A and B are shown apart, each in its own frame.
Chain A
Amino acid sequence: MSAIELENVRRIFRTSTGIFRRRRKEVVALDRLSLAVGEGELFGILGPNGAGKTTTIKVLTTLLIPTEGSARVLGLDVVRDTQRLRRNIGFVFGGERGLYYRVSGRDNLHYFAELYGLHPDRIGPRSEELLGMVGLKDRADEKVEGYSRGMKQRLHLARALLHDPSVLFLDEPTSGLDPIGARELRDTIRQLHERGKTIVLTTHYMFEADSLCDRVAVINQGKLIALGTPSDLKGSVSDLSVVELEVFGVSAEALTRLRALESVDSVVVEQREFRQLLRVQTPHGERIVARLIETLGGVEVGRVGVREATLEDAYVRLIGRLE
């Protein structure tokens, strides 16, 4: 049975600019998006900035009304059954905001526990349990304004779990966290999944989606462009290898020449201080390395490596560019 269903959901944002000559603009954030997430599934939504990931989460958490189409969570309509639905879902948006900074972490939890209708006898023990789970017990009585970004993110997660929701929406929860903080948060998400919670997760980190999610959807410009398990998506690039070339001062012309090669599927450039890392997707693996270096002309080449394609490579192939 599906815990979450989106059917042909369109969401259009209308904005206007100018004082005397007002110009109206429409942005289609979701374009007839249809998805279903099973009960107990950990479902990832991937896509570039502005693809519609956060809009999807906001529609499902009742914070946005779809312009067209319908969405249900646990069989409850996101527009009509808002109060009942809100009792059964928890959500976390990425970033540091959304907490009361001038009070302690514990007070933040107590306040939201009241808003979620927890019995007064349960508020204290439940807050303690969650503070322990997210590793904030020792700092719980300090004002939130003194917390690090990671601590705030963990407090957000604890807040979202206060009423023990069966469905959890996490919008880029590890964004901006240090590697250890991000790993701890991923471990917590994994534990929640093991306890049977349905989790929808948006992320920019492909390895995160690969290691956590049962299935992922890739969306771009509000449209679903791929859906499947991480293995399915990786399978779509199983014919490819990735040649990574470290170069110094590569020109636009050299990149154009590289992209024009028949045996090259795509080229992604990542700037790294004074050098660039070129990721060349190709079916020919190491056999093409010499040809690639030759095509680059006189560009200084440093380290060269060849590896199997990953979920990130599948994503790049689908989206056509790397952010």
Chain B
Amino acid sequence: MFGILRSSMLLELRQLATSRFMLMCVIVQPFFVAITTMFMLRHRPDFDPVYVVVGAALSGIWSIVLFEGNWIIGGERGAGTLEYLVGAPSSFMLVIGSRLVGTIVFSLLSMVLSWVIGAWLFGYAITISEPGGFLMSTALALVALWATGMVLAPLGIMWRTVSTFLTVLEYPVYALSGFLFPILLMPGWTRSVSVVLPPYWAALALHGTSSGESLSLSLSVVWGLLLLSTAAAVAVSWPLFRLVQRRARAQGTLALT
């Protein structure tokens, strides 16, 4: 199992490192988000560069999770490798899950880049108010986003309409999860949507521990909710993966030809 995790992760990192679109998601986009937000907000008295750095990083992480999660199985199908993956004795869910671990590791580039922009380009002192809590929040946030990718992967391949719908979720989720500004600025009814999104809890935990802003819930509750969202996503993805394989074998859709 460890061998599959390691090799799938490395393969994913190599594939992503040569994909222009994914490099744009993880480097170019956070770069523009960080720069434009800093230019827009830097003269405000309540401007917090750490908030922008974390928000820009989250935008990169979310974009790559959304797109790679949605397209990973379809991409294998397009490359003709899906039949060889499904036809191997290893668990298909383990293989795709390991690949998405690689996606998450790759997405950390956007965190490093956002920090570099804030600290070097703009010369802000990027100080994390609770380093220990921030590290723990980062780990739990990444696991929760990985689990979200595990739900997106089977959904994206099973229904073309769902896949199309998922691709337009990039910016609404930025706004609804409070990556770059508090969701209190959004209409009240959107809160009920935000609370079911793992990126919302990820943003809450990361902003809370990096900027030191007071959270409406205790940090341990937010962590608990991140863990709960991870467990729920894995529980949902397991039957979805089984369904994908069963349907593909029954309908003959593992290959494009």
Q: Which of A51-67 contact B (CB under 8 A)?
A: 55, 58, 61-65
How far apart are B248's CB and chain A's nearest CB, in angstroms?
A: 8
Measured CB to CB, the nearest residue on chain B to A120 is: B3
Chain A interface main SS type: mixed
Within 8 A of B (CB), among A23-69: 55, 58, 61-65
Asked if B249 and A62 make an inter-chain contact with CB atoms under 8 angstroms apart, the answer reads yes
Known contacts A58-B252, A64-B252, A83-B89: A93-B3 contact under CB 8 Å: no
Quick check: A100 and B18 within 8 Å, CB to CB?
A: no
Q: Specify the chain A residue showing the minimal Cβ separation from B83.
A: A63
Mark contacts of B156-188 with chain A using CB atoms, 8 A cut-off: 1 yes-contact digit, 0 otherwise.
000000000000000000000000000000000
Cβ of B42 < 8 Å from any Cβ of A? no
The answer to the question of B250 belonging to the interface, with a C-beta cut-off of 8 Å to chain A, is yes
Q: In the complex, which residues 236-257 of chain B have their Cβ closer than 8 Å to any Cβ of chain A?
A: 246, 249-252, 254-255
The verdict on A87 contacting chain B, using a C-beta distance below 8 Å, is: yes
Chain B contact residues: helix, strand, loop or mixed? helix
Q: Which of A13, A55, A103, A115 interacts with B89 by CB under 8 Å?
A: A115
The distance from the CB of B89 to the nearest CB of chain A, in whole angstroms, is 4
Q: Would you call B15 and A115 a contact (CB within 8 A)?
A: no
Q: Are B80 and A159 in contact (CB under 8 A)?
A: no
A129 in the interface, Cβ–Cβ < 8 Å?
A: no
A87 engages B89 (CB within 8 Å): yes
A86 in complex: contacting residue of B6, B87, B251, CB < 8 Å: B87
- Report chain A residues within 8 Å CB of B11: 100, 103, 107, 111
* Min CB gap B68→A, angstroms: 15
In the assembly, what is the distance between CA of A103 and CA of B11, in Å?
Answer: 8
B87 touches A91 (CB 8 A): yes
CB distance from A275 to the nearest CB of B (A): 33
| Nearest chain B CB to A99 CB, angstrom units | 7
Give Cα A177–Cα B165 distance, bound, in whole angstroms: 42
Contact, CB under 8 Å: A115 / B90: yes
Q: Is the CB of A117 within 8 A of B89?
A: yes
A141 contacts B by Cβ under 8 Å: no
Contact at A115–B252, with CB atoms within 8 Å?
Answer: no
Q: A residues within 8 Å of B by Cβ?
A: 11, 13-14, 55, 58, 61-65, 83, 86-87, 91, 93, 95, 97-103, 107, 110-112, 114-117, 120, 159
Q: Offer 7 A-B interface pairs, CB within 8 angstroms, sorted by A.
A: A64-B249, A65-B246, A93-B255, A114-B4, A114-B7, A115-B95, A120-B3
Given A65-B246, A103-B15, 16 other A-B residues pairs in contact with their CB atoms under 8 A: A11-B252, A14-B251, A58-B252, A62-B87, A62-B249, A93-B80, A93-B83, A95-B80, A98-B83, A102-B15, A102-B18, A107-B11, A115-B88, A116-B88, A120-B3, A159-B84
